[in-house]
Structure 1
Amino acid sequence: MGDDFGRFHGTESKIPQWLRRRPKSTNGTKNTKGVRGGKGGGGAGGAEAVAAAREGLLLAVAGAGMPVAPAAHPVGYRCSCERIGCPTPGRHPISFAWQTQSTTDRAQVERWARNQPEANFITATGMVHDVLDVPLEAGRSALERLLEQGIEVGPVADSGGDRMLFFTATRGTPEDEDEWWPCELDCHPETMDEHPGLRWHCRGSYVLVPPARLPGELGVGWVRGPEHPLPDPLTLLEILTDACARYAGENGELDPHAVAWPMGR
C-alpha cells in the first residue's frame, strides 16, 4: 500500500480504516474483533466514523468529476458476485450497465455508499479522465522522477500492492466517433514491446477507486488524492514508459503483453 514505501515529496497516503474492515461472520453478525476496546474506534461510533470516511473519499472522487459506480467486494478470497472462479474478485462492476450507470451526482453516490456498505467502487475512464496503469515498482520510480523534475502529477493510487494508477485528463472526445477505439486495443498495441507493463485505460475501461478492499487483506488507497488536478497524460508518458522498460529489464519474467485484469464484465 501507499504507506509501505513512505511518502514522496508533497504526497500523502490516505488509506482509511475502511480498508481494514473485517468481513461479516457466517451467521450474519459482524465480526467485531479489533473494533472494541480502542479509544475512539470502538462500538457504533467507530463504525460510523469509518463509514463516514469511506463516503467522504468516494464523494471526493465524484467531486473531482470522475464518475463512479458500485463494484463487487471480496468475501474472504472469493468474490461477492458468487461467480464460480471469478477471475477478478472484488475488482469488477456489479452492473453490466456500469458505463451508463457511472455518475458524479452527489446524492446518488451517497445512496450507494450507505445502501451498499461493503461495496467497492469503480470509475469509468475515457469520459473525463484516463488512467495510466503500471507495475508498482516502476510507478514508484517514475513518481519520484516526475516530482523531482517539477512535472505536474495528478491523483495517484496504489492498487493491490502491485500496480500504481496515474489519473490523467482524457484524450478528449473526437469530432468523429469512428476515431475511438476500445481500451482492449490499448492492452496489446503494436508498440507494446516499447511500453512493457503499461496499460492505458481510456474509453470502455475502468479502475477501482479508493477506498477499495481486495482478497488477502489487500486494498486500493491514494498516494496522491483526487484534489490534485488531472494532468495531460502525454506529460507523464515518457517517464512512465522509461520506468516500465527499466522494470521489465530487471524482471525478465515479466510478460510485456499481460493486462492488468480481464475486461470480461
Structure 2
Amino acid sequence: MGDDFGRYRGTESRIPQWLRRRPKKSADGSAFDGDVAGREALLLAVADAGMPISPAAHPVGYRCSCERIGCPTPARHPLSFAWQTQSTTDRAQIERWARNQPEANFITATGMIHDVLDVPLEAGSRALERLLEQGIDVGPVADSGGDRMLFFTATRGTPEDEDEWWPCELDCHPETMDEHPGLRWHCRGSYVLVPPAQLPGELSVRWLRGPEHPLPDPLTLLETLTDACARYAGENGELDPHAVAWPLGR
C-alpha cells in the first residue's frame, strides 16, 4: 500500500530499496539493516528538512533496549531525558550518532519547526487519498508500525512568543478524544519516531512520502483528517479513549 502513495499526480516515491527489505537480525535478536549508508542518508534528509532528531531506543527481540521493566512504549522513546535540548539538525552530530549507535531508532522533537498529526492507519490512508485527489499539498507522511499514520506539518507554535505555544497535552489527553476520535496532535513537548525505525515484532516506521516534501499548514489537512477519524471510529467502535498519549517520561 505504502509505495502507491508516492505515485499520485506523478510524484514517484523516493523510498530507498533498503526500506522494502525485511530487517536482518543480530546475534542478540535485535533488528538492524546492513545498509548503514542508506540509513544515515535518510536521517540526514530529515535534518536537512529542518526537523531536529536525537537517538531513541530500539527493539531487542520483542523487548525494548532500555532497562525499564515492562516499558510501555518499547523502542519508541528517546534514550535521553534531555531529548528536547539534545535534538539537533547538525549533520556531523547525526553522523556520529548513526555510526556509534547503529541499531538506535531516532525521534524528532515536535513544536519548533514542525508538528505531527497522528491518526489510525486506515483513517489516514483514506484521508491521504482524498487530499491528493483534491490537489492539496501534503507534506511528509509515514507509516508508524502498521497501525498509525503520521502527517508532518509546519508547527502552529511560535518560539518567539511563548504565550502562543500549543502544548501537546491539550490535543492528546483522553478527555479530548470524543471531539477528535483517534487523532493525536504532536506539538511542543512531544516527539515521534522518524523513519527508518524498527519496532518489536519486525514492525517498522517508514516513509510513504519523504521529507523532501515541504511542510504544509496543519489546518489545511485537519478537516479531512478529523472527518476520516470520525468515520473510522463510527465504523469500528473500538478506539480506546484511554490510549497512551505521548510523551511518556522521556
Maintained 8 Å contact 1:77/1:216: yes
Q: How does 1:105-254 map to 2 (within 5 A)?
A: 105-173=90-158, 175-188=160-173, 192-254=177-239
Residue identity matched to 1:22: K
Maintained 8 Å contact 2:75/2:199: yes
Cα deviation, residue 83, structure 1 = 1.3
Residue 21 of structure 1: aligned partner: 23
Q: Secondary structure at the match of 2:142?
A: strand
Cα deviation, residue 25, structure 1 = 1.3
1:147-171 per-residue CA deviation (whole Å, 9 max, x = no partner) reads 0000000000000000000000001
For the residues of structure 1 that align with 2:89 and 2:202, how far apart are their CA atoms? 28
For the residues of structure 2 that align with 1:232 and 1:249, how far apart are their CA atoms? 27
Maintained 8 Å contact 2:191/2:247: no
Maintained 8 Å contact 1:88/1:262: no
Q: Kindly tell me: are residues 17 and 175 of structure 1, through their superposed partners in 2, closer, same or farther at Cα, counting changes over 3 Å?
A: closer
For the residues of structure 1 that align with 2:242 and 2:144, how far apart are their CA atoms? 19
Unaligned runs of 5+ in 2: none
Q: Secondary structure at the match of 1:158?
A: strand
Which structure: larger Rg? Answer: 1
Residue 80 of structure 2: aligned partner: 95
For the residues of structure 1 that align with 2:38 and 2:120, how far apart are their CA atoms? 28
For the residues of structure 1 that align with 2:210 and 2:5, how far apart are their CA atoms? 15
Cα deviation, residue 177, structure 1 = 1.6
Query: Could you tell me the TM-score, scaled by structure 2's length?
Result: 0.90
Q: Kindly tell me: are residues 224 and 73 of structure 1, through their superposed partners in 2, closer, same or farther at Cα, counting changes over 3 Å?
A: same
For the residues of structure 1 that align with 2:174 and 2:73, how far apart are their CA atoms? 23
Higher mean displacement: 7-16 or 166-175: 7-16
1:187-229 per-residue CA deviation (whole Å, 9 max, x = no partner) reads 1386532310000000000000000000000000000000000
Residue identity matched to 1:127: M
How much is the aligned-residue C-alpha RMSD, in angstroms?
2.5
Maintained 8 Å contact 1:2/1:15: no
For the residues of structure 1 that align with 2:69 and 2:120, how far apart are their CA atoms? 28
Q: Number of residues paired by the alignment? A: 247
Query: Could you tell me the TM-score, scaled by structure 1's length?
Result: 0.85
Maintained 8 Å contact 1:8/1:144: no
Q: Kindly tell me: are residues 223 and 121 of structure 1, through their superposed partners in 2, closer, same or farther at Cα, counting changes over 3 Å?
A: same
Cα deviation, residue 261, structure 1 = 4.7
Maintained 8 Å contact 1:70/1:121: yes
Q: How does 1:68-87 map to 2 (within 5 A)?
A: 68-87=53-72
Q: Secondary structure at the match of 1:248?
A: helix
Residue 42 of structure 1: aligned partner: none
Unaligned runs of 5+ in 1: 33-45
Cα deviation, residue 185, structure 1 = 2.1
